[in-house]
Structure 1
Amino acid sequence: MSGPSSGGSGDKLVVWDWKSGDASAAPYLEKAKADFAKGHPDVEVEFVAQPFDQYYTLLGAAIQAGKGPDVILFNGGGQIRDRVGSLVPLDEYVSGDQQRLAGWDAFKKDGKTYAAPVTLQGHPLYYNKDLYKRAGLDPEAPAKTWDEFVEDCGAITGKTGSKCIGVGNKEGIGIQFFLSAMGSAVLTPAEYDAWIAGKRDWSSPNVKRVFELWRQADAAGLNNEGVNSTAMFNDAFAVFQSGKAAHVIGLMSDVGHWKDFAEFLNPADVGVMAAPVVNPAATPSLPYDGGIGYGVAKWTRDPKRAADLVRSLTSTEALKAFYADAGAIAADTTIDVSGGGPAVTAIVAGIKTGKPALHVALSSKTIDLMGRLSQQLLSGSVTVDEAVAQLAASDGAS
């Protein structure tokens, strides 16, 4: 673990992230460094990999001290929006990349851009086609409605012994995945768009229905045992990969995604399905945003030079390597993924009609509260009405 370090010197830039320690990210970073070196041959770039579970705490200490890394990796949404006061707006530096890269909105606040997207992140509903076959179901025709889904789950469990859904909520993350993956199957398109725009009606029957489904699915035995004691990373994904659950709400990039699953399951058996419709007035869509992106610290000595590094970290050649080696769904829309298999093909096709993920629109404070309340919903110590009332109060004060 590294504590706050001073920013780069005149011939050095320091980057904080949680990815550079991963072997699968090495080719991506080498491509990015080589691209940056073309214009800055005498500038050293140092990547400091921080542990993700402490990342924002360590970053907070650096921000409070007013010194630290020059370039910083962020998750899109609340984590970066809560810290834009410590970042340089990048609009003048990245205007030429606006068309090539997708996912910018997750790194914007008040009309200004504070990071450039590296990946797109979203929450597909994956399913195991082999378990469908063993249960006598058509693996190419997953359920369209929630009632059909529950019926199929009964057949899968009855004939294979596998649970319906692999879920981990020890960290309170499972509810984020569930809200965003199932939200478009419950909320009307108008409600969905209003939520993303910040006009959230927590007392809406459809919003309450999402949280009721969260509780009911567990009470009905659709989930693996002990959801509140199962870590999302990576125990819940292991339940799916091992064939002990037929479905999992995973990620598009990073971990718990199509490339990871294909290492344990036959790639042809890793399916992606639309969220089963709960409300006939809803229109299911793939929830996604900018996943991770690099921003520039306000204290860096040369913002333009640091922004040049950000541009190299989002260059096409670097992102091609990130896709090929790590399975990231890169923000670069020019990258060809047609050879990646049926799951990634389905995911990329869904991007065309996808919408931002519901949980990403929330502040980090409200997300933390939602995690705690989601655990209490499963344990029965809070009602849905009580939970949404608390969330409404938190969201209104954000």
Structure 2
Amino acid sequence: MKQRALWSVAVAATLALTGCGSATGTSSSDGTSGRLVVWDWKSGDKTATAYVEKAKADFAKKHPGVTVEFVAQPFDQYYTLLGAAIQAGKGPDVMMFNGGGQIRDRVDALVPIDGFVAPDKQRLTGWDAFTKGGKVYGAPVTLQGYPIYFNKTLYRKAGLDPQRPAATWAGFAADCAAITKATGASCFALGNKEGVGIQFFLSAFGSGILTPQEYDSWVAGQRDWTSPHVKQVFQLWKDVSDRGLNSKGANSTTMFTDAFGIFQSGKATNIIGLMSDIGHWKDFNEFLGPDNVGVMKSPVITEGTTPSLPFDGGVGYAVAKWTKDPALAADLVRSLTSTEPLTSFYADAGAVVSDTTVQTSDGGAAISAIVADLKTGKPALHVALSSKTIELMGRLSQQILEGTVSVDDALKQLGESDRS
């Protein structure tokens, strides 16, 4: 109760400082006057400065009398603060969300924006992650995927060809053993202190274990947590740890950014990273050199599977139900997803943006491989889950690594959570 009270005070202070609630969204639809407040966790980053400024400039051309204020919240507190604002029924006019469960679980507080963003449907991709019940509640800014990055230099030191990474799990494990023997590097850099590592693992290796039908059924909501192949995913999570293939202390290592640091320093051969816009190709290019960053899909773990790059809409902006002028707020969302700002976001942050017209040919081999794989990629398995099940999976993944819960018991709990 004390913690809840403290959060309430924090939210109240934030709302007061930013003028959220009754004072926001008061402008008329012709944009002659008024103010819109945006909450996110990106606008405070230096790599997003040009993106935000260009989006504001695009909006100002259409609504010159409207003031737009961005309030960058800390990501580790973001959904708690946002949840309290939603409970209070007042807050920002426009809100950033991760695609998937985080936005789908909160659509009651949002305005469907299908009619407002219809002109952008063909130019942008990643809409499904911001859709529920056939209605669009957010516009995607980035695409988020979970490629397996590898260090080509370590391959070469072990006498392996980095242009031909193993296509099967047996071959992949053998390569890891050879590299560890030659260089001392672990097979994987893993950070699971936040419980995020299991999300990356499930989505990165799932297409190499689940059959195409099982994969599609999972994404569609028809999940069988008792199936042998689902169990195989979580058993592999445990086996990789038990065999010492992960960097040490995974449960006490943060994914953001300690695990990425392990990979960047050459202490691990592989890492399941991101496409946008941290722990991704651009970061790794800067540390390892563009010629030394490799990208692969899951090796085949179950015969007959078709490995693919898992990706969805990454982050996007939505319109709050309480805003006074939904059309005006939706127009700001459209500016935030317009081509010129997104081009800057790609250039400065390395974000793989939702705009299919933005060119990425100047980014090197890794980004070129990622973009090519988008053509056959499928939605990420963990993004299909509710935020409640995701949170539970994170806790259970830590316990599986610690040996305090069995794989079977973890899957039983996850199945019950997913059905509730």
Correspondence for 2:329 among 306, 313, 324: 306
SS in 2 for 1:185: coil
Q: Does 1:6 align with 2:57?
A: no
Q: Does 1:100 align with 2:118?
A: no
Distance 1:48 1:136 in 2: 51
User: 1:67-82, aligned counterparts within 5 Å?
Assistant: 67-82=90-105
Distance 1:148 1:34 in 2: 52
CA displacement at 1:101 relative to structure 2: 0.4
- Residue by residue, what CA displacement relative to the aligned partner does 1:67-126 show, whole Å, maximum 9, x if unpaired? 100000000000001100000000010011111100000000000000000000010000
SS in 2 for 1:116: strand
Distance 1:181 1:217 in 2: 14
Distance 1:286 1:139 in 2: 19
Correspondence for 1:217 among 219, 232, 240: 240
* Counterpart for residue 196 of structure 1: 219
User: 1:272-291, aligned counterparts within 5 Å?
Assistant: 272-291=295-314
Distance 1:262 1:271 in 2: 10
RMSD, matched Cα = 0.8
Distance 1:280 1:332 in 2: 35
* Counterpart for residue 233 of structure 1: 256
* Counterpart for residue 130 of structure 1: 153
Q: Tell me which amino acid in the other structure corresponds to 1:185.
A: G
Distance 1:202 1:359 in 2: 13
CA displacement at 1:18 relative to structure 2: 0.2
Gaps of 5+ in 1: none
User: 1:112-127, aligned counterparts within 5 Å?
Assistant: 112-127=135-150
CA displacement at 1:382 relative to structure 2: 1.0
Q: Tell me which amino acid in the other structure corresponds to 1:272.
A: V
SS in 1 for 2:288: coil
* Counterpart for residue 66 of structure 1: 89
- Residue by residue, what CA displacement relative to the aligned partner does 1:245-276 show, whole Å, maximum 9, x if unpaired? 00000000021000111111111101101211
Distance 1:22 1:266 in 2: 23
TM-score, normalised to structure 2's length? 0.94
* Counterpart for residue 57 of structure 1: 80
* Counterpart for residue 150 of structure 1: 173
Q: Does 1:22 align with 2:22?
A: no
Stretch of structure 1 that moved more, 4-13 or 207-216? 4-13
- Residue by residue, what CA displacement relative to the aligned partner does 1:290-339 show, whole Å, maximum 9, x if unpaired? 00000000111110000000000000111000000000000001111111
* Counterpart for residue 31 of structure 2: none
CA displacement at 1:278 relative to structure 2: 0.4
What is the aligned-residue identity percentage? Answer: 68
Correspondence for 1:367 among 360, 374, 390: 390
* Counterpart for residue 339 of structure 1: 362
- Residue by residue, what CA displacement relative to the aligned partner does 1:367-391 show, whole Å, maximum 9, x if unpaired? 0110011011111111111111110
Distance 1:125 1:144 in 2: 13
TM-score, normalised to structure 1's length? 0.99
Distance 1:383 1:300 in 2: 47
- Residue by residue, what CA displacement relative to the aligned partner does 1:5-58 show, whole Å, maximum 9, x if unpaired? 524243110000000110000010111011001100010100000000000000
Gaps of 5+ in 2: 1-9, 28-33
CA displacement at 1:281 relative to structure 2: 1.6
Distance 2:99 2:14 in 1: 23
SS in 2 for 1:131: helix
Stretch of structure 1 that moved more, 259-268 or 166-175? 259-268
* Counterpart for residue 350 of structure 1: 373
CA displacement at 1:3 relative to structure 2: 2.3
How many residue pairs end up in the alignment?
397
Distance 2:189 2:14 in 1: 36
Distance 2:298 2:219 in 1: 19
